[in-house]
Amino acid sequence: MCYKEKMKKVIIFIGPPGCGKGSTAAVLCKKYGLKHIATGDILRSEIEAETALGQQVKSVLSEGKLVCDEIMLQIISKYIETHSCAQGYLFDGFPRTSDQANGLTDI
């Protein structure tokens, strides 16, 4: 198998609430068979499941702060490991920082 065949599509959507990311993401995911990864949904899921990471996220968000890069990367990595998609992924709201973008290449 050549290198190109091993590569998955990765699309990143970043924008303010209400700009149409979700609607456009749904169309692209359906067309290309991608898994939609909405970070807000994943964070809420971790909090509701009361995981160790979810407890950390809840604490940070209750203080009105952004979740740090390290925790975000752990959560995204965990999600990808448990929700594989052969075609690739569409990230909605991630990465938000250059460290998250660099960390994404290691996942």
How much is the pTM? 0.81
Report pLDDT for 7. 66
Total domain count, the chain: 1
Any domain includes 29:
yes
Where residue 64 sits, what CATH number does that domain have? 3.40.50.300
Any domain includes 28:
yes
Any domain includes 12:
no
pLDDT tens column, 36-83:
998 999 999 999 999 999 999 999 999 999 999 999 999 999 998 888
Q: CA-CA-CA-CA torsion for 38, 50, 48, 28, nearest 10 degrees? A: 20
Any domain includes 70:
yes
Any domain includes 47:
yes
Contacts by residues 39-42 (CB-CB < 8 Å, ≥ 24 positions apart): 39/72, 39/75, 39/76, 39/91, 39/92, 39/93, 39/94, 40/92, 40/93, 42/75, 42/76, 42/79
**Segments forming the whole domain that contains residue 33:** 20-105
